[in-house]
């Protein structure tokens, strides 16, 4: 076994804060509604009412899901007067979503 690999794995495993945050991100992404919200936000910033209309859900349900996404730093909030606009936090979130989406589509096509 390669010693360097074992050291890398041990170092990765000892960073509990990072492991907990990464685990939390994947838990949050495990909900279809939140994935639909992320997909909507992949087209640009949206306010709660627009997302609710797009997904045909109540504003309170969307707000709740957005608060969970914001807590894990997957989305960010920008206030503009009385409206709150949400967007993906950065390009990593978009890439994570797109890579997962492409992986699933690839697996479905090749079955």
Output the CA–CA distances (angstroms, integers) from residue 71 to 28, 54, 105, in the order listed: 10, 23, 28
Give the integer Cα–Cα distance in Å for 62 and 60.
5
Q: How confident is the model at residue 110 (pLDDT cuts 50, 70, 90)?
A: confident
Model pTM score: 0.89
Residue bearing the bigger pLDDT, 3 or 98:
98
- Three-state DSSP class for residue 89: coil
- Could you report the per-residue pLDDT of 43-97, keeping only the tens digit for each? 999 999 999 999 999 999 999 999 999 999 999 999 999 999 999 999 999 999 9
CATH assignment of 3-109? Answer: 1.10.10.10
Q: Where are the domains of the chain?
A: 3-109
Q: How confident is the model at residue 109 (pLDDT cuts 50, 70, 90)?
A: confident
């Amino acid at each position: 076994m390669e010693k360097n690999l074992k050291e890398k794995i041990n170092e990765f495993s000892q960073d509990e804060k990072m492991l907990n945050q990464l685990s939390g991100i994947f838990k949050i992404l495990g909900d279809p509604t939140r994935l639909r919200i992320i997909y909507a936000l992949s087209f640009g910033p949206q306010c709660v009412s627009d997302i609710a209309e797009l997904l045909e859900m109540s504003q309170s349900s969307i707000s709740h899901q957005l608060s969970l996404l914001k807590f894990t730093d997957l989305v960010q909030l920008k206030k503009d007067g009385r409206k709150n606009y949400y967007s993906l936090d950065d390009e990593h979130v978009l890439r994570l979503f797109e890579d997962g989406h492409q992986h699933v589509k690839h697996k479905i096509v090749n079955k």
